[in-house]
Amino acid sequence: MRASTAAAGDRETLEARDVLVLGVETSCDETAAAVVASGRRLLSSVVASQIETHRVYGGVVPEIASRKHVEAVIPVVDKALAEAGVSLADIDAVAVTYGPGLVGALLVGLSAAKGLAYACGVPMVCVNHVEGHIYANFLAHPHLEPPLICLTVSGGHTDLVVVEGHGRYRILGRTRDDAAGEAFDKVARTMGLPYPGGPALERLAIQGDANAIRFTRSRVEENPFDFSFSGLKTAVINYLRRAEQRGEEVNLPDLAASFQRAVVDELADRVALALRQFKPDTVALSGGVASNRAVRDGLSAVAEAHGATLVFPPPSLCTDNAAMIASAGYYRLMRSGACELSANAMPGADLADVAEPSGVGGEKPWRGED
Ligand code: KG4
Ligand code: ZN
């Protein structure tokens, strides 16, 4: 544990001790707080999910999400501190998601983080949500180090990235339309499955035959690393409608398994391309869809075939959480320092905005050391 009696500015003690970062995440429908030591050791992670509230609407209602975050954010922070066995006075920095996400939801976390950082006299660091997902892997695997390839597959993103170093990203490909998780959710909804659709569709697919229906795999001409899932989504919806018009019964487990196989094939195809080009030792998987067993198995096989290892976080760190934000925040703080307390939420924030080019931003000393 950190020495909480150490005087700030005491160079030796600061270098030797752990830096405790309180993470706050409210970008969508989970209110989350966590305490992480020196970017790598998880002391607590608390997630208050709003899934039950939004389920009746079949998706996230932004206004309701914001109000729920307001109610939950301080109790969730208190719980994260209590579970970590620390108090606010022990916290060295507050890391918070500034985007991408729902603007009203982001503003709640950002406002709470500003208040906490100001009151405690500690730096606040703003974290890109997608960078947070990448860092779930550094948290889950304490000895993992760049360079590596990371595929983030969530409800809002499908990004294939070379992680050249901490904070240094080269974006190879992304989705041109729907994110992988979005495709899971939309297809699941059309099949009458409950929100959120991804886990429900996976459960149904387990009983189905993935070879029952052959859906066409997409290919994006301009950039072979890019993804596209809207054609597949439409094909599944059309399949269901046609069967309905003809009065035919659809084998839903087969349909779910065949759709899931098509998604896995597309992800695996792009990862294989990256493996051939960059020959990394490690491929990391992150985001909510990374908790899908078929996705993990499919990508593991591809990585292995190219002499690499696939790593992924446990399911609790795949879906939205604040531990990944605290971990990414620690590294960002070490490299670039704190954010201004006037920082604003950026609902359309892009990972490319924080991807430092190679060779820029060495390990900066913290707290004004020379
Ligand atoms: O990372 P996340 O919690 O939030 C975003 O940043 O979007 O990801 C949520 C997404 C949803 O689309 C959800 O359906 C999907 O991840 N998901 C899954 C599974 N668990 C969550 N998709 C497929 N299989 C799963 N087991
Ligand atoms: Zn997310």
Q: Is the peptide bond before 147 cis (omega within 30 degrees of 0)?
A: yes
Q: Kindly indicate the confidence band of residue 61, based on its pLDDT and cuts at 50, 70 and 90.
A: very high
The rounded distance, in Å, linking the Cα atoms of 336 and 334 is 6
The end-to-end CA distance of the chain, in Å, is 26
Q: Given a cut of 90, is residue 311 above it in pLDDT?
A: yes
User: How far is ligand 2, taken at its centre, from the CA of residue 28, in Å?
Assistant: 8
pLDDT tens-digit profile of 343-359?
Answer: 999 999 999 999 876 54
Instruction: Please tell me the predicted confidence (pLDDT) of residue 358.
Output: 59
Query: For 222, how many CA atoms within 13 A lie in the half-sphere containing its CB?
Result: 5
Was domain 11-137+318-362 assigned CATH 3.30.420.40? Answer: yes
Close Cβ partners of 146 (under 8 Å, ≥ 6 residues apart): 163, 164, 165, 166, 168
Q: If you average pLDDT over every residue of the chain, what do you get?
A: 91
Close Cβ partners of 106 (under 8 Å, ≥ 6 residues apart): 26, 27, 97, 98, 99, 345, 346, 347
Q: Name the segment(s) of the chain with CATH classification 3.30.420.40.
A: 11-137+318-362, 146-313
Pocket test for ligand 1, best of 319, 325, 351 (most atoms within 8 A of CB): 319
Instruction: Please tell me the predicted confidence (pLDDT) of residue 70.
Output: 97
Residues whose beta carbons lie less than 5 angstroms from ion ligand 2:
154, 320
User: How far is ligand 2, taken at its centre, from the CA of residue 27, in Å?
Assistant: 8
Q: What residue has token string 């970590």?
A: 84
Please name the amino acid found at residue 273: L
User: Dihedrals φ, ψ of 327, to 5°?
Assistant: -65, -50
Whether the CB of 202 sits within 6 Å of ligand 1 = yes
Instruction: Please tell me the predicted confidence (pLDDT) of residue 219.
Output: 83
Q: Given a cut of 80, is residue 4 above it in pLDDT?
A: no
Query: Residue 67 belongs to what H/E stretch?
Result: helix 62-84
CA-181 nearest atom, ligand 1: 12
Close Cβ partners of 69 (under 8 Å, ≥ 6 residues apart): 26, 31, 105, 108, 109
Q: Kindly indicate the confidence band of residue 6, based on its pLDDT and cuts at 50, 70 and 90.
A: very low
Q: Which CATH number fits domain 146-313: 3.30.420.40, 3.10.450.50, 3.30.43.10, 3.40.50.300?
A: 3.30.420.40
pLDDT tens-digit profile of 164-190?
Answer: 999 999 999 999 999 999 999 999 999
User: How far is ligand 2, taken at its centre, from the CA of residue 288, in Å?
Assistant: 7
Query: For 98, how many CA atoms within 13 A lie in the half-sphere containing its CB?
Result: 23
Please name the amino acid found at residue 74: I
Q: Given a cut of 50, is residue 7 above it in pLDDT?
A: no
Pocket test for ligand 1, best of 178, 289, 316 (most atoms within 8 A of CB): 289
